[in-house]
Amino acid sequence: MKTEKMFIGGEWVDSVSGNYFESVNPATGQAIASIPEGVRKDARMAIQSARQGFEQISRMSVWDRSKLLVSIAEVISRRREDLARVLTLEQGKPYYSEALDEIDGTVMAFADAAEQIKWLETSVIPVEDRNKRVLTIRQPKGVYAIITPWNFPFMVAAEYLAPGLAAGNAIVWVPAPTTSLCAIRLAECFEEAGVPVGVLNLVTGKGAVVGDEIVANPGTDAIGFTGSTATGHQIAVRGAGKPMLLELGGNGPTIVLKDADLDHAARMIASGCFYNAGQVCSATERILIHRDVHDEFVAKLVNHAKEIIIGDPFDQRTTMGPLNNEPVTLKNDIHAKDCLDKGAKILIGGKRAANKTSDLFFEPTVIVGVTEECLYNKEETFGPVAPVMSFSTHEEAVEIAARNNWGLVSSVFTSNLKDSMYFAENLRAGIVNINDSSNYWESHVPFGGVAGKASGVGRIGGKYSINEMSDLKTISLDLR
pLDDT value at residue 252: 86
Q: Is residue 247 annotated as part of the catalytic site, yes or no? A: yes
Per-residue pLDDT tens for 97-108? 999 999 999 999
Determine phi and psi for 136, rounding to 5 degrees: -125, 150
In the 8-state DSSP scheme, what is residue 96?
I
DSSP string, 377-415: HHS---SSEEEEEEESSHHHHHHHHHSSS--SEEEEE-S
Strand 456-457, strand 244-247: pairing: antiparallel
Question: What is the percent of the chain where pLDDT is above 90?
Answer: 99
Tell me which of 213, 247, 285, 363 is the catalytic residue: 247
44 confidence band (pLDDT: 50, 70, 90): very high
Question: 401-428 burial string, b = 16+ CB within 10 Å, else e?
Answer: beebebbbbbbbbbeeeebbebbeebbb
What distance lies between CA 96 and its chain's CA centroid? 20
pLDDT category at 167 given cuts 50, 70, 90 is: very high
The rounded distance, in Å, linking the Cα atoms of 82 and 101 is 13
How do beta strands 124-125 and 132-140 pair? antiparallel
- Name the 3-class secondary structure at 290: strand
Whether the predicted pLDDT of 323 surpasses 90: yes
**Average of per-residue pLDDT across 418-427:** 98
Catalytic residue among 182, 281, 339, 374: 281
pLDDT at 1: 82
* Of 206, 103, 222, residue with least CA distance to 172: 222
- In the chain, what percentage of residues exceed pLDDT 70? 100
The pLDDT of residue 58: 97
pLDDT at 187: 98
Average pLDDT value over all residues in the chain: 97
Q: What is the pLDDT of residue 334?
A: 98
Q: What is the rounded CA–CA span in Å between residue 450 and residue 174?
A: 26
| pLDDT tens digits for range 1-30 | 899 999 999 999 999 999 999 999 999 999
Domains of the chain are 2-248+458-476 (3.40.605.10), 253-442 (3.40.309.10)
SS3 at position 434 = strand
Band the pLDDT of 159: cuts 50, 70, 90: very high
Mean pLDDT of 48-69: 98
Instruction: Tell me how far the alpha carbon of residue 451 is from its chain's centroid.
Output: 19
Nearby residues of 472 by Cβ (< 8 Å), 6 or more positions away? 122, 136, 137, 138
Rounded Cα distance between 224 and 461, Å, is 13
The pLDDT confidence band at residue 470, using thresholds 50, 70 and 90, is very high
Distance between CA atoms of residues 144 and 64, nearest Å: 20
Q: What is the pLDDT of residues 210-267, one digit of tens each?
A: 999 999 999 999 999 999 999 999 999 999 999 999 999 999 899 999 999 999 999 9
Q: Is 442 a catalytic residue?
A: no
pLDDT tens readout for residues 192-209: 999 999 999 999 999 999
Q: Determine contact, residues 211/147, Cβ cutoff 8 Å.
A: yes
Of 28, 23, 146, 35, the C-alpha closest to 86 is 23
Q: Spell out a b/e string for 256-270, using b for 16 or more CB atoms within 10 Å of the CB, else e.
A: bbbebebeebbebbb
Q: pLDDT grade, residue 351 (50/70/90)?
A: very high
